Chains A and B, each alone.
Chain A
Amino acid sequence: MRRIAILAGIWALLTLAPFWLPLVGGYTTLGTRVLVLGLAAMALNYLLGYTGVLSFGHAAYVGLGAYGAAMSIKFLGMGALQAIAIGTLLGALAAVAIGPLIVRLRGIYFSMCTIAFGQVFYFIAFRWNTVTGGDDGLGGWKRPALEFAGYKLDLLTNDVAYYYVALFFFALAVGGMGLLLASPLGRVQLSIRENERRARFLGIPIERHILLSWVVSCLVASLAGALYALLNNFADPRILRWDFSGDLVIMAVLGGMRSFWGPLLGAAIFVVLQDYLSSVTENWMSFIGLFFVLVVMFFPRGVLGILKRAR
C-alpha cells in the first residue's frame, strides 16, 4: 500500500512538473534535463545497483544516442520519433558489439575496460570533423515536429510539449526496466550481485546475464542521449567523454544506488547544483570535484539510502 502511494506520488510529481516547477524557481527545460539525465543514471544503475557491475563508460552510449539522433535529423531529415529510434538503436548496437569483449572481466577491471572503450567513440566524434562537427559538436539542426498517425505536434517552440514527449519515453523505459527487475530474470541479476560464485554453482550462465543487463542498460542510456540531443538541438562531444560517465555514476550514488528511483533524485540534485555553480563561479569544476569527494566520504549510501536506514 505504502509502495503504491509513493509510486503514485512520484508519477504525479513528474506529470505535473511543468506546472509546479516555475513556482519553486525552476523552468521546464531544466525539468526536462533532470528527467533525461535521470533516465541515463537510472539506466546505469540498472547495471550497477541491480547486477552489481560498475560501468564507468556509459557516456559513450548516451553520446551515441545523441549523435545518432542528431545525424539522422541533420543528414536524413528524419522526424522526431524516427530520430530517437535510430539514436537508441545505434547505442544498443555498439553495446552488443563491445559487451562480449568485457563481460568476462570482473570488478574494477570491468570498470577500467568500460572507461577505455568509452573513449573510442569520443575520439571518433572528435576526429571525424566533416560528419560529427568535431570539437564544436553537431549543431545546425532543430528538433523536428512529432508526426504520428496523421497528427502533428510542434516541439521546437513548445517546451512543455517536449517535456511530455520525454516523459512518455521515460515512462516507457522505466516501466520496462521495472518489469524486468520484477521478473525472474531480475531476481537472477540480484543473485549475481549478491553472490556470483553461488549463482554460478546453481548453473546460472553469469556472462550471458551480465551481457543482457549491459545491453538493456546501454539501450536505455542511448535513449536518454537521443532525448538529450533533441532537448538541446545539439549533440555535444563532451557527453561522450569520460568525465560525463563520472557524472552519471555520481548521480546514481548520490541518490542511492540500491534504490530504483534514487538516481533520478541524484540527477535532480546534481543538475541543479551544476546549473547553479556554473552561473556563480568560473571554477565550478573544482566545486564539482569537491562535491564528489564529499559524497564519497560522507554520503556513500546516498540520500535514499540514508532515508531507508532512518526508517
Chain B
Amino acid sequence: MTQLILFNVTNGLIVGAFYALMALGLSLILNLSGIINFSHGGFLTLGGYLAYSLSLSMGFWGALLLAPLLVAALGIAVEAGLIRRLYGKDPLYSLLLTFGMALMFEDLTRFTWGASAKPFVIPEALAKPLTQQFFFLTGYRVFMVAIVLLAVAALFLVLRFTRLGIRIRAGTLDLETVSALGINVRALRSLNFGMGIFMAGLAGVLAAGMLGLQPTMGNALIMPSFIAIIVGGIGSLPGTLFGGLLIGVAQGITTVFYPSASEAIIYIMMGLVLLVRPRGLFGEEGRQ
C-alpha cells in the first residue's frame, strides 16, 4: 500500500511538473500580453513531433536541444504576424485566434505525421529503472524532472536577475510606464512570447518520451494547465508552479482510491479554491 501510494504520488509529481512547465509558459504570456494562448497545446504537440523527426537523424540529445528552439522561433513568427495585431483589442479576439490555431495545429500534425501514435525512442541509459525496489523510478523520469527543474530555475533566474527579466516583470505591472521609459515593448512582448512557447516545446519533447506522441496530446494537456494557473493564482508565476504540482499530486492520490475521479478532482479543487479564495492561492489582490 505504501509503495502504491508512493508510486502514485511520484507519478503525480512528474505529471504535475509537466502541467507546471506548460502552465508557466501560458502564464508568462497571459501576464505580460493579456492573452490566453489556446494554441499552447498545439505548440507542445509540434515540439514533440519535431523532436521525433529530428531524433531519427540526430538522436535524442540533438532533438531535445533543437526542437524547442524551432518551436519558439515559430512562436515568435506567429506572434509577429498575427497575435501582435490584437494587443489592446478585446481579449475575445486573441482567444478566438489562438483557438483557431489550436484546431489547425492538431489537424496539421495529424495530416503530416498520421493519426496513429508514434514511438519516441529515448536513450537506453535513461530507460532503465534506478533501483529494483522502486521500479517506477526510471532514469527517464528522474531526468525529466531534472530538466523541468532546470528550466524553471533558469526562468526564475532570468526574471529575477537579468535586465530582460526585470523589464518583463515591470511590464506585467504597468506596460505603459515601461514603454514611456523608452523600452521597446514590442520586442519585449515578442521575446516573452518566444520564452513561453519554448517551454511548451520543451514540455512537448519530454512528454513524447513519456506518454508517446499523439496529435491530440497538446489539447488534452491545456485544461490542467489552465487549472494550474487558476488554482495557483493568476498573475503569480510561483503560484502557477505550485498549482501545477498540487493538481498533479492530487490526481496521483485520487488514482489510488478512486481512479475514475482522477480527472474530476482537479476541477473540484478549482471550485474549492475559487469558493474560498477567488484570486487563487498565491494571487495578488485586485488581479482576480
Cβ contacts under 8 Å, B89 to chain A: 300
Closest chain A residue to B108, Cβ basis: A286
Query: Does A289 reach chain B (CB closer than 8 Å)?
Result: yes
Q: Is A157 an interface residue (CB 8 A)?
A: no
Q: Mark B212-238, 1 if CB is under 8 A from A, else 0.
A: 000000000001001101100010000
| Interface residues as binary, A40-61 with B (CB distance below 8 Å gives 1, 0 otherwise) | 0000000010000010100000
Decide yes or no whether B92 CB sits under 8 A from chain A. yes
Would you give the shortest CB distance from B240 to chain A, in whole angstroms?
13
Q: Which chain B residue has the least Cβ–Cβ distance from A109?
A: B234
Decide: B91 and A107 in contact? CB cutoff 8 A. Answer: yes
Contacts of B111 in A (CB 8 A): 283, 286
> Which of B35, B36, B100, B271 contacts A296 (CB under 8 A)?
B100
Which residues of chain A in 53-95 are interfacial with respect to chain B, using CB atoms and an 8 Å cutoff?
Answer: 54, 56
The smallest beta-carbon distance between B202 and chain A, in angstroms, is 23
CA–CA, A86 and B191, complex, Å: 51
Residues in B with CB closer than 8 Å to A292 are: 96-97, 99-101, 103
Tell which of A54, A123, A289 touches B92, judged by Cβ atoms closer than 8 Å: A54
CB interface residues, B 21-41, toward A, < 8 Å = 30, 34-36
Are the CB atoms of B103 and A243 closer together than 8 Å? yes
User: Does any Cβ of A come within 8 Å of B95's Cβ?
Assistant: yes
How many angstroms from the CA of A108 to the CA of B230 in the assembled complex?
Answer: 12
Q: Does A246 contact B (CB under 8 A)?
A: yes
Give the distance to chain A from B158, nearest Cβ to Cβ, in Å: 25
B267 surroundings in chain A (CB, below 8 A): 116-117, 119-120, 123
Asked if B288 contacts A286 (CB within 8 A), the reply is no
Q: Is the Cβ of B103 less than 8 Å from the Cβ of A116?
A: no
Which of A101, A108, A119, A293 makes the CB contact (< 8 A) with B101? A293
On chain A, which size bracket covers the interface? 35 or more
Query: Nearest 10 A-B pairs (CB), nearest first?
Result: A292-B100, A289-B103, A289-B104, A285-B107, A286-B107, A289-B100, A108-B91, A120-B267, A296-B97, A123-B263
Query: Besides A289-B101, A295-B96, 8 other CB < 8 A contacts?
Result: A108-B95, A112-B36, A112-B226, A116-B223, A120-B264, A124-B264, A127-B260, A285-B107
A285 B274 Cβ-Cβ under 8 A: no
- Is B86 at the interface (CB under 8 A from chain A)? yes
Contacts of B96 in A (CB 8 A): 246, 249-250, 253, 292, 295-296
A243 to B105, CA, bound (A): 14
Q: Are B92 and A253 in contact (CB under 8 A)?
A: yes
A138-181 vs B, Cβ < 8 Å mask (1 yes, 0 no): 00000000000000000000000000000000000000000000
Q: Is the CB of B97 within 8 A of A293?
A: yes
Give the shortest distance, in Å, between B131 (CB) and chain A (any CB): 35
The dominant DSSP class at the B interface is: helix
Please determine whether B100 and A108 come into contact, CB atoms closer than 8 angstroms: no
Known: A109-B288, A113-B230. A290 touches B100 (CB 8 A): yes
Min CB gap B89→A, angstroms: 7
In the complex, whether B278 has a CB less than 8 A from a CB of chain A is: yes
Q: Does B275 contact A (CB under 8 A)?
A: yes
Q: Which residues of B contact A112 (CB under 8 A)?
A: 36, 226, 229-230, 234
Task: Tell me which of B85, B100, B223, B234 contacts A288 (CB under 8 A).
Answer: B100
Our pick among B107, B264, B275 for the contact of A289 (Cβ within 8 Å) is B107
User: Smallest CB–CB gap between B275 and chain A, Å?
Assistant: 6
In the complex, which of the residues B34, B92, B101, B271 contacts A249, with contact meaning CB atoms closer than 8 Å? B92
Please provide the chain A residues from 209 to 234 with a CB less than 8 Å away from any CB of chain B in the complex: none
Q: Do B100 and A101 touch (CB < 8 A)?
A: no
B257-288 CB mask vs A (1 if < 8 Å, else 0) is 00010011001001100110010000000001
